[in-house]
Structure 1
Amino acid sequence: MADVSEFYVEDMTCGHCERAVREALAENLPGAAVTIDLPRHHVRVEGDAEKAQTAIREAGYTPVAV
């Protein structure tokens, strides 16, 4: 089973934000399963937590591990 990381991303507020986060994660963790709950600002992703957090940050958002 792959490692799973979860983040609270307060500044992910709309569909555009969700797409940007998804694209950043897909680019940095190809093939990783990503689940986003936009109303809760919650991102769940398989793979390396540090890579995921860096990808979200580089996309312009502020992830906090949960």
Structure 2
Amino acid sequence: MHEFQLPDMTCGHCAGMVSQTLQMTDPQSKVQVDMANRTVTVQSTEDRATLAEALTEAGYPPA
């Protein structure tokens, strides 16, 4: 399981884009978004670097 701090995730639209990005990277992943803390937790078989790269490319670089 991976947790990312995403300071640029500021609204519901952002949260949706983050979830969609992670689902496209690993369709089998389970994603939990915590808007209050601006974090996302991902259960995935992909490695952390791959997930972080996908988030960065989508405009939500992990802190």
Q: TM-score, normalised by structure 1?
A: 0.85
Q: 5+ residue gaps in structure 1?
A: none
Matched, 1:55 2:54: yes
User: Number of aligned pairs?
Assistant: 61
Measure, in 2, the Cα distance between the counterparts of 1:62 and 1:39: 17
Higher strand share: 1
Correspondence for 1:29: 26
| RMSD of equivalent CA atoms | 0.9
Q: TM-score, normalised by structure 2?
A: 0.89
Superposition misfits of 4+ residues, deviation over 3 angstroms: none
- CA offset digits 1:12-56 (Å, max 9, x no partner): 000010011011000001110111101100110012211211111
Task: Report percent identity of matched pairs.
Answer: 38
Greater shift after overlay, 6-15 or 47-56? Answer: 47-56
Correspondence for 1:45: 42
